[in-house]
């Protein structure tokens, strides 16, 4: 018999019991001269979650909601705040509310790892809404709507925490952020059976959950210390062309998608849903600038226009067909170059 999820402060999971909180820390003095300080790194390559079909089992695993936005690191230092994307680009000006909230934290130096998101009316992160708030792919608009859900603390008051186990970093992060509901919020850890928590997350329309090994240090890359389990599959694919339409707004019936297989690109089907009129017009203009007579993938058909594999789209889908195509695919938006999104890799 599985135990039900315990309560977090997340509005989507209010029907459960609150987790035990660590006791408040005493006020910190970031200028303590007697402590040995670690140099603050300019950037830390992020720890990435490995996709799994089912949640892990065992007391060594902690669970959180999987947020759907842009992975960022917030650097707080004596000279101010920097917000870096997963690819290392400075987006401080794009997230002014998060930067302002970081300046108000009771800390001298810190690096927060988290996800910048825009929430819908039900408190769910919505990738498309985040993109629109930033002016779309390649836009230069600053998003006042975006908030940061912080889920790790990598540097703190002059000390590198990456060698500390996850449970210790978590303790310090909870003490730093508390129950804040401003532009920087704590991504709550949920003490629950993984299957039960995944079921609850899916029922609330969330993308999925994250599992983290409590005893592991912070290691860059996709090494299995963190796992992601999704309710609906979502991955990034190259757009390699489109199918013309004489009736659809923007003239696009569907987008042609490709994944990587070694050094080659492989056709994985098309997507014809999830667009609005503005998306279609923008995509048509952009793809027409990338037209190529050379087919990037092996696919034939009428009214097909091929494009150089430059644009990367986020796609939700239910499953794969036996012949290697996406089933029930839906377009969710274009990934930013600065987001350093990894295109789906197929087995060789």
Q: How far apart are CA 17 and CA 13, in angstroms?
A: 9
Cβ pair 141, 131 in contact under 8 A: no
Cβ pair 215, 61 in contact under 8 A: no
Q: Is 332 a catalytic residue?
A: no
Tokens of 86: 């997963």
Rg (CA), the chain: 21
Cβ pair 317, 297 in contact under 8 A: no
Q: Which residue, among 152, 170, 161, has the nearest Cα to 41 in the 3D structure?
A: 161
DSSP lists the bridge partners of residue 317 as 233
DSSP lists the bridge partners of residue 257 as 239, 269
DSSP structure string for 264-287? EEEEEEEE-SS--HHHHHHHHHHH
Which residue in 52, 66, 140, 228 is the catalytic one?
A: 66
Cβ pair 194, 210 in contact under 8 A: no
Task: Kindly list the catalytic residues.
Answer: 66
């Amino acid at each position: 018999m599985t135990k039900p999820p315990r309560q977090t402060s997340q509005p989507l999971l209010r029907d459960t019991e609150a987790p035990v909180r660590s006791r408040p820390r005493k006020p910190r003095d970031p200028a303590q001269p007697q402590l040995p300080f670690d140099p603050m790194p300019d950037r830390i390559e992020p720890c990435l979650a490995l996709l799994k079909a089912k949640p892990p089992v065992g007391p060594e695993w902690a669970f959180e909601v999987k947020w759907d936005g842009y992975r960022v690191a917030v650097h707080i230092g004596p000279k101010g705040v920097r917000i870096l994307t997963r690819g290392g680009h400075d987006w401080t000006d794009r997230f002014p509310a998060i930067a302002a909230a970081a300046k108000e934290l009771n800390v001298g130096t810190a690096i927060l790892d988290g996800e910048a998101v825009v929430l819908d009316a039900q408190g769910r992160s919505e990738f498309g809404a985040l993109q629109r708030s930033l002016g779309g792919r390649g836009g230069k608009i600053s998003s006042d709507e975006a908030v940061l859900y912080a889920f790790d603390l990598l540097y703190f008051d002059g000390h590198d925490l990456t060698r500390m186990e996850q449970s210790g970093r978590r303790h310090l992060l909870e003490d730093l952020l508390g129950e804040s509901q401003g532009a920087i919020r704590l991504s709550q850890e949920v003490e629950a059976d993984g299957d039960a928590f995944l079921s609850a997350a899916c029922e609330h329309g969330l993308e999925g959950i994250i599992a983290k090994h409590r005893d592991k240090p912070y290691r860059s890359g996709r090494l299995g210390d963190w796992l992601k389990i999704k309710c609906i599959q979502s991955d990034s694919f190259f757009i390699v062309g489109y199918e013309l339409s004489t009736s659809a707004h923007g003239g696009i019936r569907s987008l042609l998608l490709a994944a990587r297989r070694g050094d080659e690109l492989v056709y994985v089907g098309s997507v014809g849903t999830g667009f609005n009129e503005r998306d279609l017009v923008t995509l048509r203009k952009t793809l027409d600038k990338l037209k190529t007579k050379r087919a990037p993938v092996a696919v034939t058909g009428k009214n097909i226009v091929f494009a150089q594999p430059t644009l990367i789209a986020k796609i939700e889908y239910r499953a794969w067909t036996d012949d290697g195509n996406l089933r029930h695919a839906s377009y969710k938006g274009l990934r930013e170059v600065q987001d350093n999104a990894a295109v789906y890799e197929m087995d060789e």
